[in-house]
Structures are given as structure tokens and as C-alpha cells.
Structure 1
Amino acid sequence: MDPELYSQGDPFVQWKWLRANDPVHWHRPTELPGFWSLTRYHDIRTAYRDAETFSSAQGILLRPADHGADPGGGRTLALTDAPRHKQLRGLVDGWFAVRSVRALEAEMQGIAERVVNTALEQGSCDFVTDVAARIPLFVICRMMGVPESDWEHLYDLTSQAFAAGDPLTRRFAHLNILGYFETLQAEKAQKPGDDLVSVLATAEVEGERLSADDVILNCDNLLVGGTENTRIAAAGGMLALLEHPGQWQAVRDGHELLPSTVEEVLRWTSTATHIMRTAVRPTEIHGQRIEVGDKVVFWLPSANRDESVFTDPDTFDVHRTPNRHLSLGFGEHFCLGSMLARVELRLLYGELLRQGVHVELDGEPKLLDSIVVNGPESMPVRMKAA
């Protein structure tokens, strides 16, 4: 539970021990509520599928007890259970379907090319903020109907909200993001367009319009879900490829490896460190009694290094197949933007390959101090086209 473990230590040693010796481990309450830890792949996958026992509506991330309930509980796509979850998901599902993502692919390719070219012009840049952050943000802004003139403004706000070290800076930036969507959803409610915010601003669930607050919270959810983990995965994947140059060379030699490379990047980075559920009925896992109201935490990086599922799990291997990682969730709450994230990663790495870009570290990467997401916070690089 120490954020510095993820920036300076090795949590995989602890997770490996827990998988072998205490796969359903009780953490006593501290400033956080007490909770059960699941570290094995099959236990986490099974719990993901059992939405009738493990609820999302009371929050999906550990929060200090004195912070109270998550304000999005029961209101946003990520923090609802059936039947409301299915109703909310049905409003936006089509935008993230294979057909819709493929229809956007040419525009996404253009965004990737523009971002890479800008980084090449700079020569030296921060791969996290200057490359990895911009592609998913600009794509989700396009889908949400954010005017292109505002993309850089939201880029500045999300950079502060996701990566700034000062908690007050993060909170202020997040409030500004909510304020932005408050204005945008009001405009879209009056004059809807062909975009996600318009869908939410004019939607009805069970015969009632979504409240303005619910629209704003879901917009925030889509922005965060559509950018943060892809940003960290893209940067963490690039770092893994730089640390394993033979793997990057294999992809250069055979571009047909891009799809399996993307899957290995997702497994290896496992950027969502934990996901939480709350038990709404008693159950038992490996002899441990889970009571109603107990918090149960899924440690996804541990699941994705489970030696009972993955051969040589601590090896980064772009040839790995099958690769049934849990980085994008499972069951009812399988990541809405999973196809989008995969395409964004493929287009980014594909653009670097297409232009023959040489990337090398230009300083020491800094990893995030966080128990929520893990990966590079900053990664100075030099980029040069062939």
C-alpha cells in the first residue's frame, strides 16, 4: 500500500509470494478500509464474472475511509451494477464497436502521424506527455465532440490532473475538467451533434433524462478511461521495447508482430494496478469467508504474471500467444474502449516503424508514485527519423 513501492521497489516479489502462500489475504484497516487481496489469475477472473456477488456501485478504487463514498457510485458507467450498467453502456457501446473504431482509423492515423512528427521536430521530448498522452486524448476529444481548438486546453488540464505531483494541483485541474464538461454538456443538450457528449446529454434511461451531474460525471469517466491507461501503457510499452532492444528489432523486422506486441505491452504494463469490488452477498474463496460489505481488491499486474497461466511470465515477449491477460478487465465491466486502446497503440508503434524512428532514452524515466496506476510519469527521449 506504499505508493513508493511502485516507483522505487518491486511489488512483483510480494505478489509472487502472495500467489503461492496467501492468495486471499486480509489487509487490516488503516487510513484505508480493511480489504481482501486477490492475486491469482483465476480467482480474479472468476470474481470479475460474478457481478451478482461483487458490486462496482460502491466504488472501484481504494479510498481513505474519511473521504466518504465515491460520488460516482451508482451513477457512472464504471460504478454501476445491472440493470443500470447495461442501460448506460448501451447508450455509448456503438461508438466503441469494431466498425466505429475502424471508421475512425484514418483520422486516428493522421493524429498519430502529427504527434510523432511534432516530437521529431523537437528532437528531445518527454515520451509520456509529448507523444503517449496526446494520441488517446485527441482521439477521445474527437469522439466526444470537443472542438479541436480546445484539445490543447484539455491536454494541459489532463496533464496536471493525471501527472502533477501536487495533490492540490491535481484536484484543481480535475475540477476544471468537470467545469469544462458542465458547459459542453449544456451546449450539446441544446444543440446536439454526432458525438458522445450529445448522446449522453440527450439520453433517457427508464424514461428519464440523465441529470446534468450524471452526464458530467460520465463525461469525466470517458475522458479518464479513454486517456490515462492508454497513455501509461503506450509509454510503458516503449520503455519495455527500449529495455529489450531485441524485441523491438523483431517487430521492425516483421510488422505482422504488431498485434501480438500490443497484447504483450498491455500484459506487461498492466497499468491499472488494482480494481476493487464490494461483496453484496457472502461467499468463500480458498476457505476464506467474504462477508457482505467486505472490500475485495483485484491486483491485475499480479494476475498477468501468474505462472500457472503464462509461460515465463517475467519475460517480455512480443511473440507471446495466446495472451489472455486481464489488463482490460473481464465480464460485464470489460473495458469499453478496449478496441480503441489496441488500435491507438498499434498506430503509434506502427507510425514509429513506418518512419523508421530511432528512439533512445535521454535521461532516467520517473515512475508514478501511485497504488492506482503504475508506469512512467515522465520519460525523456531523443527521437530521430531514419
Structure 2
Amino acid sequence: MSDVALDPAVLTDPRAHASGEVYEVWRWMRRHAPVHWHSSGTYPGFWSVTRYEDVRQVYKDPASFSSTRGVMLRPTALGTDPAGGVTLALSDPPRHGAMRSLVADLFTGRSARELERQVRATARTLVRTAVQSGGCDFVHDVAARLTMSVLGRLLGVPKQDCEDLLGWMSQSFEAGRPLATHPEFMGFLAELMDECAQDPGDDMVSRLVTGTLDGRRLSPAEVLLNCENIIGAAENSGLSLAGGVLAFARRPDQWALLVRNREHLPNAVNEILRWTSSATHSMRTATTEVTLGGRTVAAGERVVLWLPSANRDEEAFTDPDEFRVTRRPNRHLSFGAGPHACIGGALARVQSTALLSELLDTGRWFEPIGPAEPVRSVVVGGPAHLPVRVTAFPSDGDAHGVRPTRTS
């Protein structure tokens, strides 16, 4: 590990995230500046937190580190997040717990397992389509559509409308703008909310429009922002899947190991989540003066938790820069921890398990056939585009001459 000082300022540069430069910076910071102050500029001033235990401390203490002032870095020019104190993600206990209870059983392991058959059928169709087409963009043609199959069921979107929702999601993602700013999506969701209010089903929109919080119904704006929040979080699952395809392409020996030892599948899913860490950060605001990593954080100061750094902390993981499907235990923080642990974690695992299971059952895998185009963002990481074809996996584990390599 280099002792040459590196510049933490690059953490707010999307180009540094796209190139992977941030990983070397995070390594240096974990050793030399694990809790580092960034002066205000494009973003308000904030503390960077890079070590696993410090990140976990913040997650576990919502009384000292609040979510209501935003959970992601937001340019100063945009002002405060309008979802503050309104959505599940941007609220603190006890409101957070009360809001979570409205929809929690839709995200439980049992509900996720009930959804597994539908997701698996979708995965089968997507793999077959990719084979027939001779190739596809994995991010848009596989990951996004698999995510849509989960979202459609979760939100109660009629099957015939899922293609429209997928298109609006893709347009917003490419433009780097919130889905709530898309006029067609807004109109569609307003109609869906009206329909669910009149004839509620067992879905998230119905739960939100008919449930009560503090003795009152949620406003249309509250329902909209919560739905947008869930959709945004679901996009991370697609990015994680795409990053997993790249990880296996660079380490075909790990896919061969999984083919020979199917019992490692749950571990492999967890390792993809740790390795990719598609949500690059989470933010909190200190409610009181607190000591973190030997530094004094004042009340009102923002604290940014860099999840890819925590998930590659040498103090928390053995050989953290190795992609290993046998890694266990694997207490990664990709879904956070504490009261705000991601409510959709079980669904994300179902999605990954369904796709990997389909590939294992059919003896196929996704082979990249061109360079991956990385997302340029400080919020999410992974491939924005990934051209692939579906091939039969070589029995010797040496995928088309690509030998196993160590990557970081």
C-alpha cells in the first residue's frame, strides 16, 4: 500500500469513480485519514468516512446521525432534499419505523420467495432472448428488465404498463435526473394511485395510499416520493448484477467453482453485493457533537459513508480485493445496517439468485464482447452499458482464453 499522499477531493469527481481511481484513494484514506473533512464547494462541507467499523457506528446510531436532511450528496445549488422527513429513507425513528410497518411484509423473506418463481421465469425468458439475438446490452436488456419484473409486482403496476415504466426509468437514468421530474411518469403514477385508492391490492402503492401515519393518510406527494425512492434503490440491484457479470468474466475460475459447487450460490450472491457496492455512499447529519474515528464531528455537519471502501476494509475482510464466491462470513454493508438497513435486501438477493440459477441450470454464462461503459456518478457505480453474448461455459473454467486474474 502506497504511503504517498492522495487527494480525497477526487471523491466528488464522477470521472474518478468511473475510472476506479477512487479505490486507491480509499485505501490510502483508510490508513491515513479514515475520517476526513471536505470543505464546501460544489457540495456542502462534509466528513468522509472510509473504515468499516466507523461506517457501521454511524448506521447503528440514528439518534446521533439523522437521515432527515438527506442521505446522498446533493450539490449546494440544489438546496435541501425535498424528500427530507417524508420518505422511508429520509426519516428517523419513530416515524421511520411507523412508515416501514406500512409496507414491511411486502419485503420479507417469505414474500421474496413467493416472488422468486415469477422472477425466475423472467430470467429464463431474458436469457433465451439474448441467445436468439446473438447478444445484447446486459444492463438494459437483462438487468433493467429483471428489475422491472420485481418492481412491477411490488408497486402493483399492470403488466401491460411495465414497458412504459421501464422506458421512463431508462430515460431518467441516462439523463441523470430524478424520475419524479418525468411528466409521463408523474401522470401514470397519479392514475395508479387513484386506482389503488378505489380498488386496493396487495402492493406498495395500495399500502401507501390507504395506510395511515400519525392518524392521517399520506399526501400524494409523499406517496410519489416514496415510490421514486424504491425505484431508485432497485436500480442499484441491476448495476450490481452487471458488476457481477464483469467480476465473473475476469475470474472465470470463480464461475467454474460455482458450477462444480452449487451450494456456494448464496455466498456468491453476497460476494457480488460486497464486490460491486453499487450504491457508492450514504449520508447522515450529526444531531449532536460526536467523536468518530478520533475526529470531532459537530452538530449539523454532514457525514458521508463510502460503502465500497467499507466493503474492502482490510480490517474487516480477508484479502478484500479478491473476488471469492466462497467468502464466508461476509458481513458487507451494501444494504446498510441498523434501523435503516435496506428494506429491499431480500428482493435484491432473489433477483441475483434467479439469474445465476438460470445460468447454472442451463450451463451458460454471459461473456462480455466489448468494453463496459462505466456510470459517471458519485451516487452509484457499475456499468452503464455492457455488451454481452450468452455462451456455453467451458468445462475447464478457462473462458475463451481469458485466464483467471487478480483484480481490484
TM beyond 0.5: yes
Q: Which amino acid aligns with 2:374?
A: L
In structure 1, distance between residues paired with 2:341 and 2:265: 22
Q: Determine the structure 1 residue equivalent to 2:42.
A: 31
Q: Determine the structure 2 residue equivalent to 1:121.
A: 132
Matches within 5 A, 1:79-94: 79-94=90-105
Q: Determine the structure 1 residue equivalent to 2:168.
A: 157
In structure 2, distance between residues paired with 1:373 and 1:273: 5
**Mapped contact 2:179–2:185 kept (Cα < 8 A):** no
Q: Percent identity?
A: 47
In structure 2, distance between residues paired with 1:75 and 1:234: 30
Deviations 1:248-274 (A, max 9, x none): 111111111111100110000001111
Q: Which amino acid aligns with 2:294?
A: G
After TM superposition, give the deviation of residue 144 of structure 1 in Å.
1.3
In structure 2, distance between residues paired with 1:60 and 1:319: 32
Deviations 1:348-383 (A, max 9, x none): 111111112242111110111000000110000111
After TM superposition, give the deviation of residue 385 of structure 1 in Å.
5.4
Distance 1:160 1:85, change over 3 A: same
In structure 1, distance between residues paired with 2:324 and 2:176: 36
Q: Which amino acid aligns with 1:107?
A: Q
TM-score when scaled to structure 1?
0.96
TM-score when scaled to structure 2?
0.91
Q: Determine the structure 2 residue equivalent to 1:302.
A: 309
In structure 2, distance between residues paired with 1:120 and 1:56: 44
Matches within 5 A, 1:193-342: 193-225=201-233, 227-342=234-349
Q: Which amino acid aligns with 1:56?
A: S
Aligned residues: 382
Q: Determine the structure 2 residue equivalent to 1:99.
A: 110
Q: Determine the structure 2 residue equivalent to 1:366.
A: 373
In structure 2, distance between residues paired with 1:283 and 1:172: 35
Distance 1:382 1:171, change over 3 A: same
**Mapped contact 2:180–2:186 kept (Cα < 8 A):** no
Q: Which amino acid aligns with 1:374?
A: G
Q: Which amino acid aligns with 1:287?
A: G
Distance 1:51 1:175, change over 3 A: farther
**Mapped contact 1:264–1:318 kept (Cα < 8 A):** yes
Q: Which amino acid aligns with 1:194?
A: D
In structure 1, distance between residues paired with 2:246 and 2:124: 20
Deviations 1:245-303 (A, max 9, x none): 10111111111111110011000000111100011111112332111110000000000
**Mapped contact 1:134–1:155 kept (Cα < 8 A):** yes
After TM superposition, give the deviation of residue 175 of structure 1 in Å.
4.2
After TM superposition, give the deviation of residue 240 of structure 1 in Å.
0.3
Q: Determine the structure 2 residue equivalent to 1:50.
A: 61
In structure 1, distance between residues paired with 2:307 and 2:122: 30
| Unmatched runs of 5 consecutive residues or more in structure 2 | 1-11, 394-408
| Unmatched runs of 5 consecutive residues or more in structure 1 | none
